[in-house]
Amino acid sequence: MMRKFYQYSVLLLCLASCTVTSTTNDVVPNTPAISDQVAKGKAGSPSSPTAFVLKTALYSKQTMFGKDGYRFVFYDKNADCNEVASPPVSFFIPKLENGSLKGEGPYFYYYTDAKNFGTTSYLGCDVVITKVTATTVDGKVKGGDEKSQYIEGSFSATLCK
């Protein structure tokens, strides 16, 4: 009797410690519905937003509000890591790993006139990271207010060191 108990215990322990891997793109539970199209939306002043279509996405490791993480910046023009102009759209995430994350932002930057600058911040954006390499991050983002400033869609961001 004790021998059968031992065999069943070993079998149960083996089953409990086994893991299943999949080579398919598993859907992360509670992943928000985000467009697969290139990120676009509305940017600029909240009182007179303009159409925004992502042309350049960059990211870098930063500390924001006392938290370490990654800041992503979106431009509607060609830009590189030496860009000095504020990006029209940005957001911040705490880690780089595949899956669904809650991001800080999005943040929209705009000029109110030739000399003055404004920023609008939203309380959170949905981010889904689909691929991370040593120099790029692919994913999707959704956030803002659809009536004024808003961003939704896919991106492929290049690392700025």
Model pTM?
0.78
Note the CATH architecture for domain 33-159. Answer: Beta Barrel (2.40)
Q: Which among 44, 53, 49 is positioned nearest to 111, based on CA atoms?
A: 44
Specify the pLDDT at position 29. 54
For the stretch 14-29, pLDDT in tens is 323 322 222 333 334 5
- Tokens for 41, please give them: 């939306």
For residue 155, is pLDDT > 70? Answer: yes
Would you kindly state where each structural domain of the chain is located, as residue ranges? Answer: 33-159
Q: How many distinct helices (H) and strands (E) make up the chain?
A: 1, 10
Greatest Cα pair distance, the chain, in angstroms, is 87
Q: What is the b/e burial string over 70-101, where b = at least 16 CB atoms within 10 angstroms of the residue's CB?
A: bbbbbbbeebeeeeeeebbbbbbbeeeebebb
Q: E-assigned strands of 65-116?
A: 67-75, 89-93, 99-111
For the stretch 73-104, pLDDT in tens is 999 999 999 987 889 999 999 999 999 989 99
Strands 136-144 and 117-121: unpaired
